[in-house]
Amino acid sequence: MKCFGKPLNILSFFFSPIFLFPSRIVFRYTSLHSMPYLTEVEKVDPELAEIIHREMAREYRGLELIASENFTSKAVLECLGSALTNKYAEGEVGSRYYGGTEFVDGVEKLAKSRALEAFKLNPSEWGVNVQPYSGSPANLAVYVGLLQPHDRIMGLDLPSGGHLTHGFYTPKKRISASSLFYESLPYHVNEDGVIDYDELERNATIYRPKMIILGASAYTRDYDYERVRALCDKLECLLFMDMAHTAGLIAGEVLKSPFQYADVVSTTTHKSLRGPRAGMIYFRKTDRNGNATDFEGRINQAVFPGLQGGPHMNNIAAIATQMKDVCSPAWKEYAKQVQVNAQALGKIMISKGHTLISGGTDNHILLWNTRVLNLTGSKVEKILDAVNISTNKNTIPGDKSAITPGGIRLGLCALTSRGFVEKDMEAVATFLERAIQIALEIQGETASMKLAEFIATFPSNDKLAALRKEVEEFSAKFDMPSFNGSDIKYKNGIPH
């Protein structure tokens, strides 16, 4: 039995305040819950507090379908706002460049051991660095640690759903540091939105990269790790999995684990893992034949002093507490529900006549083809925003331009954290459908209508205002993991 986070034995129960002063404890409990948010910010910086409260309202009263976002817990937010923010601790646990690190060492140790446990990794085979500030610096640290400048890499192209940091460049410009400092040849998805492994194998055999990168930002299917591992073995190159999007589902055993196949694995901690905004790098201490590698020193050196200074210990504490959550039995249920919700929403959308890239999803992401509706992803993103449904425009196979892509990316991690289940997907799909109908009415016969002109019609559209009200009333029925509707205060009345 647990009470306020501590085990309760019989003796302490009879002397506990709950037994002696039950009404006070109830009062204390309710007052804790209704404890106003941001009291100090309100006092010292009311202008900023108002903006934060408005963001809280946007999150609480809206449908958050951005695939890279999630709603983290109060415990994570408390760690981020704790005294650990004050502490410098350059270096590693036990060998820091600063004094006074005995407590933050404990924090980082916990974060590392739980980060390994979350993916059932044996600490003699795998190590982890929990210091990267976020996903992009984590990926750069992987390259800096394991490659030489100008070594060749192959990652999924950005318009195919890959991430910028996987070597992205355009015909005119090298965009990402991963293409500025390394030579990169992208691979692609086929017209069904599935990785063209034949193309990857053909080109890799000619290009002979030092590293093949798996993982993506907008990809709906699981990966063929076995095939890519075999290719890497043949070419004697490294296999790097960036599981930023899918880490939570991998930890929940809903998706295959990459660890059996990869040499190095990176992740963000704020997407499907639902933690703070940070990154982690897992590296093999022993190779797949059991021989020791030198990856640990190379990755650690690349993170610090190679690319970063002092680790953000408040973030590392937040990783630690989130990894505890990920190690709990309840996490599997969450991960499963994310996938079930995404698949349910996909099925309903298809039954309403919509087209999804790859025909559905294995994970939390749906890629919605809006080009076939005669609407650009940009217009759909804007009209959904106007009714407080957050999504993002996304390229889909066949797009000529990334500026006016033909699709929308939807993700179900955040809504699932608010307790949405399959039956709620019917309402979500109906809201999406109604927004599309309004968009088509606005556009009429003129699909060439400019985005600015399209948006300019919103303020006078009564149907949009009515839909927004319904979306907000519906959304506000679901709790947020870290605050309630009653925590939200506006100085200048309800915003609209």
The footprint of ligand PLP on residues 120-149 (CB under 6 A) is 134-136, 139
Residue from 130, 143, 137, 135 nearest 311 by CA: 130
Asked whether position 410 contacts ligand PLP by CB under 6 A, the answer is no
Burial 379-414 (b: 16+ CB within 10 A, else e): bbbbbbbbbbbbbbbbbbbebeeeeebbbbbbbbbb
By the rule CB under 6 A, 417 interacts with ligand PLP: no
CB 330 within 8 A of CB 281: no
Site for ligand PLP in 243-262 (CB under 6 A): 244-245
Smallest CA-to-CA distance from 156 within 70, 230, 245, 234 is with 245
Which of 131, 176, 220, 268 contacts ligand PLP by CB under 6 A? 268
Among 53, 163, 298, 393, binds ligand PLP (CB under 6 A): 163
Q: Which of 64, 242, 424, 472: binder of ligand PLP (CB under 6 A)?
A: 242
Q: Which residue, 165 or 388, is less far from ligand PLP as judged by CB?
A: 165
- By the rule CB under 6 A, 159 interacts with ligand PLP: no
Catalytically annotated residue among 90, 183, 196, 470? 90
Q: Which is nearer to ligand PLP, 158 or 232 (CB)?
A: 158
Smallest CA-to-CA distance from 275 within 481, 123, 60, 53 is with 481
What number of chain residues touch ligand PLP (CB under 6 A)?
A: 14
164 or 235, CB closer to ligand PLP? 164
**Min CB(163)–ligand PLP separation in Å:** 4
For the CB of residue 242, give the shortest distance to ligand PLP in the complex, in Å: 5
Instruction: Determine contact, residues 197/166, Cβ cutoff 8 Å.
Output: no
- Name which of 213 and 386 has its Cβ closer to ligand PLP: 213
**Closest CB to ligand PLP among residues 63, 265:** 265
Biggest CA pair distance of the chain: 77
Sign, Cα dihedral of 313, 109, 327, 364: positive
Closer CB to ligand PLP, 101 or 267, in the complex:
267
The least CB distance from residue 425 to ligand PLP, in Å, is 23
265 near ligand PLP (CB under 6 A): no
Stretch that binds ligand PLP, among 75-83, 212-220, 247-255, 290-298 (CB under 6 A): 212-220
- To ligand PLP, the closest distance from the beta carbon of 17 in angstroms equals 43
With CB atoms as reference, the residue minimizing the distance to ligand PLP is: 135
Stretch that binds ligand PLP, among 4-12, 38-46, 71-79, 239-247 (CB under 6 A): 239-247
Q: Verify whether residue 88 is a known catalytic residue.
A: yes
State in angstroms the smallest separation of the CB of 444 from ligand PLP. Answer: 35
Q: Is 443 in the site for ligand PLP (CB under 6 A)?
A: no
- Does residue 268 contact residue 279 with C-beta atoms inside 8 Å? yes
Q: Between residues 245 and 354, which has the closer beta carbon with respect to ligand PLP?
A: 245
Q: Given the structure tokens 């709790």, which residue do they identify? A: 479
Nearer to ligand PLP, 266 or 443 (CB): 266
263 is catalytic: no
Position among 72, 165, 337, 370 found at the interface with ligand PLP (CB under 6 A): 165
Whether 277 is catalytic is yes
For position 176 contacting ligand PLP by CB under 6 A, the verdict is no
Stretch 295-334: interaction string toward ligand PLP, x if CB under 6 A: ----------------------------------------
Catalytic residue (one of 59, 242, 296, 399)? 242
Residue 70 within binding range of ligand PLP, rule CB under 6 A: no
Q: Has 271 been annotated as catalytic?
A: yes
Is 215 a binding residue for ligand PLP by CB under 6 A? The answer is yes
Choice between 104 and 216, CB closer to ligand PLP:
216
Instruction: Say whether residue 72 binds ligand PLP (CB under 6 A).
Output: no
| Exposure class string for 331-349: b at 16+ Cβ within 10 A, else e | beebbebbbbbbbbbbebb
The residues binding ligand PLP (CB under 6 A) are 68, 134-136, 139, 163, 165, 215-217, 242, 244-245, 268
Catalytic machinery residues: 88, 90, 242, 268, 271, 277
